[in-house]
Amino acid sequence: MSDARRQRIEELFDQALAAAPEARAALLADRCGDDDALRREVESLVASAPPASGVFRATVAQAAVALAGDLPGARVGTRVGPYRLIEVIGEGGMGTVYLAERADDAFHKRVAVKILRWGLASPEATARFRDERQILASLEHPAIVRLLDGGTTEGGLPYLVMELVEGTPLTAHARDLPIRARVELVVAIAAAIQHAHQQLVVHRDIKPGNILIDAAGQPKLLDFGIAKLIDAGTAPAREARTLTGMALLTVEYASPEQARGDAVSVATDVYALGAVLYELLVGHPPQRLGADLLATLRTICEVEPPRPSA
């Protein structure tokens, strides 16, 4: 069979598969004309081809079921290890956090369980999630949420079990406090960050949303999902980015090196904590996210924010 003949058969085969089943006979009669051998060859290929639409529908249905299972409330009532998930209490960039309780009757305890979202279960995201688990395991400070347990779900997703912090977000708690009390909260948070730095951990996402104040007035630093271990033995490297090219940061509290995509250091967390203090004193962060993201990142690098006294 010549190359031209083979190419012609392939073209007609693709056209026949793309057409509705009831329209294929007329299409092939028109395209093949008097070449009965050509028509029979294409018809034979079409008859032996798998039902593409059925395969497609099955694939879409399978993905839909998986995604539905990844919706925030879909896991409520199920078990993860010895814990039963009760309700969703938070959502982050990579995972969903659930209120959970011990369900094996060994003892009674309520905890927070964070599970990597199925739709983000890439090798990179899974590795980052496990890094968070290991980082939390290395930190022991009263102002840092404690890791209690961890593992992998039956579906292969990593999870971590943390102490349950029932508290108020930092900005809401500090709204009616005098200035001295607000600064004292920041001092307590600074002690937690210093502890992390002593363990060679940079949080990289310090912001009011990651700080809760418990019933005793104690701040708790949460969400080490994009934290990074400092390796003094390696050369500075560009920071990790998402598949869309966006750096891993919260713009309003991002340091200039984060805005540039450069390597971070302990100074990155110091800058972010300063931005949190600025917001507690003034009522808004030093930089505000504008419609033009690139312009906002450029402003972080080049423009000094107004002094709080202004």
pTM across the whole model:
0.67
pLDDT in tens, 119-157: 666 677 777 778 888 888 888 999 998 988 888 888 788
Per DSSP, 199 falls in state T
Identify the active-site residue in 35, 149, 176, 205. Answer: 205
Reference 192, options 224, 164, 216; nearest CA is: 224
Domains in the chain (CATH in brackets) are 3-49 (no CATH), 70-163 (3.30.200.20), 167-302 (1.10.510.10)
Please, what's the b/e burial string for 165-188 (b: 16 or more CB within 10 A of its CB; e: otherwise)?
A: bebeebbebbeeeeeeebeebbeb
Is 205 part of the annotated catalytic residue set? yes
pLDDT in tens, 10-66: 888 888 877 778 888 888 888 888 888 888 888 888 776 655 545 544 544 445 444
H or E, element range at 163: strand 158-163
